[in-house]
C-alpha cells in the first residue's frame, strides 16, 4: 500500500529565539496532523531539537521551547497512515550527508516511493524509517552535484508525486514545492528594525498567529533559499527553479473542499478558503434545490457550504448538530473503528432545531459513507420529517496517491453503487444512506467555485485522471 501522509510544515529564518514562533505556527497547523510534532532550531553553529508523539500544546510549552535556541527553525506536525505512527517517523528527520547534518520536514506523498526504495536498498542503502520523506535524504546523498541546492534539484529529477519540503542546515533554510504544485507553500515576513525575518508555511493561518505578513505563494517548481548572504540582500531571499521542464500546475482541489482551515488565505488579496466553500454551497443550491424548512451542516466540514446553500436558497441555516470541540478531526483518525467512535462523541443532534422539520444537511464529501448514514439515522430518530443530503463536491471514486488518506477504490462507498454505465447510481446510494434525496456538486460547479485559485487542479479522486505517470 502506498504511504499517504498529510501533514503540516512551518519554518523561519532571521528571528531571535525563533522556536516560540515555530511552536505557534505549528499550533495553527494542528488540524493537519495530531499524531506527532517536532521542532528543530539552529543558532548557526549547533542544532537543538525536540520530537514528540502527540499534540503541539502539551509537548512544546514555553519552558521546553525556550531550550531550542537560535534564529533558524523548522517544525512539523504529522498524520500517518500506512507509514506508521512511531517516534522514528516523527519529523523533522535528521540526516547526515558527507559530514553535513541537516533536517527535513516533508508534506506530501511520493507515488514512486516503493520503486525508489527497492532500487536504493538493492544498491546498499539502509532506511531507518518507513516514511517516503527519507527518500529525499538518500537521493541528495547520492547526487554528484557540489552544493546543496544543486543536490536537491538533482534529487527532484528522480521523484514523482507531491511535496512541500523544508530543509534546514546549521546556517540556512531551504523551501521547495513540487513542479506540479500539488501541495501549497506560502511565504511570510515580519519586519524588524533594519531587516525582515522570513517564514515558510503550509497555510497562512500560521502567519496570522505570529503576526506575520503573507507575501506570496512559493510557485510550483520553485526553491527558496534563506541564508546569511541572502538575508542581507535587498530581497532577503534567493529563488531558483527545481527542474527545467514546466509541467502543468495541478494543485489538489481537496485542499479547498476540506483540508485547509477556512480562515487561511489563498492569495494576498484576502480571499480565503471560506469564500470558496461558501461559493460551493451557492452553486450546490442552484444545482440541487429542494423545498425544506431548515439547512444544517455536519460540523465543521459542512458549515461553510451550508451557509452558502442557505444564502442562495433563502432557507434558514440552523445548528442541527452541536459539536464537542474536544474531539479532533475524524477524517484524519487512521483507525476506522476509532473514527466511528469519535464521530459519535463529536456530534450530538440539536433536537429542538430539527424536530418535525424538512431538513437539508450539507457536508463536504462522502468517503466511506458510514458517518453520513449514521448522522441521517440520528436526525430521523430525533424527529426530522425529511432529510435531504447535499454534498459540496462530486462523489469520491478513486484513491489519492498525492497525500490525502482516501481508502482503496473498493472501500469508497460511491463505487459500491454503480449503474451499467459505470456512473454512480445516486438513487441506490441515497437508499443506502437512508436519505430522502441526495445531491453532489458537479465537477464543473466545484471548478467554478475554485476559480480564484486558477484554472487547473488535480481532480483524480473524482475522475481518475492522475497527473503523474506512476498511477
Q: Catalytic residue positions?
A: 7
Strand ranges in 169-267 using DSSP code E only, listed in sequence order: 172-177, 186-191, 196-201, 213-217, 222-227, 238-241
Output the nine-digit C-alpha cell for 115. 520503486
Say if CB 397 and CB 465 are below 8 A apart. Answer: no
Burial group, residue 91, by CB count within 10 angstroms (0-12, 13-18, 19+): buried
Count, in order, helices (H) and strands (E) of the chain. Answer: 17, 19
Say if CB 12 and CB 197 are below 8 A apart. Answer: yes
The whole-angstrom separation of Cα 379 and Cα 386 is: 9
Distances in Å between the Cα of 180 and the Cα atoms of 23, 215, 243, 297 are 29, 21, 11, 33
Distances in Å between the Cα of 63 and the Cα atoms of 19, 58, 69 are 11, 11, 12
**SS3 category, 128:** coil
- Phi-psi map region of 44: left, alpha, beta (phi>0 left; psi -120 to 50 alpha): left
Output the nine-digit C-alpha cell for 414. 460511491
The whole-angstrom separation of Cα 226 and Cα 257 is: 32
Angle between helices 336-346 and 370-381 (to 10 degrees): 30
Output the nine-digit C-alpha cell for 136. 529525499
Dihedral angle, C-alpha 84, 86, 89, 94, nearest 10 °: -170
Cis ω for the linkage preceding 300 (within 30 of 0): yes
Dihedral angle, C-alpha 464, 176, 112, 401, nearest 10 °: -30
The whole-angstrom separation of Cα 339 and Cα 327 is: 10
Angle between helices 303-313 and 273-287 (to 10 degrees): 50
In residues, how long is the chain? 471
Say if CB 332 and CB 397 are below 8 A apart. Answer: no
Q: Find all residues with CB under 8 Å of 234, minimum gap 6, and list them.
A: none
Burial group, residue 337, by CB count within 10 angstroms (0-12, 13-18, 19+): exposed
Number of other CB atoms surrounding residue 191 within 10 Å? 10
Amino acid at each position: 500500500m502506498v504511504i499517504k501522509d498529510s501533514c503540516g510544515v512551518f519554518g523561519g529564518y532571521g528571528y531571535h529565539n525563533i522556536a516560540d514562533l515555530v511552536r505557534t505556527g505549528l499550533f495553527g497547523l494542528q488540524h493537519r496532523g495530531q499524531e506527532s510534532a517536532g521542532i528543530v532550531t539552529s543558532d548557526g553553529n549547533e542544532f537543538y531539537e525536540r520530537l514528540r508523539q502527540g499534540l503541539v500544546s502539551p509537548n512544546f510549552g514555553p519552558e521546553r521551547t525556550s531550550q531550542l535556541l537560535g534564529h533558524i527553525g523548522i517544525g512539523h506536525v504529522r498524520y500517518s497512515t500506512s507509514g506508521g505512527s512511531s517516534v522514528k517517523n516523527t519529523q523533522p528527520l535528521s540526516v547526515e550527508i558527507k559530514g553535513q547534518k541537516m533536517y527535513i520536514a516533508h508534506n506530501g506523498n511520493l507515488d514512486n516511493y516503493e520503486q525508489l526504495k527497492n532500487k536504493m536498498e538493492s544498491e546498499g542503502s539502509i532506511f531507518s524509517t518507513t516514511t517516503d520523506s527519507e527518500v529525499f535524504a538518500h537521493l541528495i546523498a547520492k547526487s554528484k552535484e557540489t552544493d546543496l541546492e544543486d543536490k536537491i534539484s538533482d534529487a527532484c529529477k528522480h521523484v514523482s508525486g507531491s511535496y512541500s519540503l523544508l530543509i534546514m542546515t546549521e546556517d540556512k533554510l531551504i523551501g521547495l514545492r513540487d513542479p506540479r504544485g500539488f501541495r501549497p507553500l506560502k511565504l511570510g515576513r515580519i519586519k524588524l528594525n533594519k531587516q525582515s525575518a522570513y517564514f515558510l508555511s503550509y497555510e497562512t493561518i500560521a502567519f496570522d498567529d505570529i503576526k506575520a505578513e503573507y507575501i506570496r505563494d512559493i510557485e510550483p517548481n520553485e526553491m527558496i533559499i534563506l541564508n546569511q548572504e541572502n538575508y542581507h540582500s535587498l530581497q532577503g531571499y534567493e529563488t531558483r527553479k527545481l527542474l527545467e521542464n514546466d509541467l502543468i500546475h495541478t494543485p489538489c482541489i481537496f485542499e479547498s473542499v476540506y483540508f485547509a482551515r477556512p480562515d487561511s488565505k489563498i492569495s494576498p488579496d484576502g480571499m480565503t478558503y471560506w469564500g470558496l466553500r461558501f461559493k460551493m454551497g451557492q452553486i450546490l443550491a442552484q444545482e440541487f434545490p429542494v423545498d425544506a424548512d431548515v439547512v444544517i451542516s455536519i460540523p465543521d466540514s459542512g458549515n461553510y457550504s451550508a451557509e452558502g446553500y442557505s444564502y442562495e436558497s433563502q432557507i434558514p441555516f440552523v445548528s442541527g448538530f452541536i459539536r464537542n470541540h474536544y474531539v479532533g478531526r475524524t477524517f484524519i483518525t487512521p483507525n476506522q473503528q476509532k473514527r466511528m467512535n469519535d464521530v459519535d462523541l463529536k456530534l450530538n443532534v440539536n433536537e429542538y432545531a430539527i424536530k418535525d422539520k424538512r431538513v437539508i444537511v450539507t457536508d463536504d464529501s462522502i468517503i466511506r459513507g458510514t458517518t453520513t448514514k449514521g448522522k441521517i439515522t440520528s436526525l430521523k430518530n430525533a424527529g426530522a420529517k425529511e432529510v435531504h443530503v447535499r454534498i459540496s463536491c462530486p462523489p469520491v471514486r478513486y484513491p489519492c496517491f498525492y497525500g490525502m488518506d482516501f481508502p482503496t477504490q473498493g472501500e469508497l462507498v460511491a463505487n459500491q453503487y454503480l449503474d451499467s454505465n459505470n456512473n454512480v447510481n445516486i438513487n441506490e446510494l441515497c437508499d443506502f444512506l437512508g436519505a430522502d434525496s441526495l445531491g453532489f456538486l458537479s465537477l464543473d460547479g466545484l471548478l467554478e467555485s475554485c476559480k480564484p485559485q486558477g484554472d487547473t487542479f488535480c481532480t483524480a479522486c473524482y475522475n481518475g485522471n492522475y497527473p503523474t505517470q506512476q498511477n
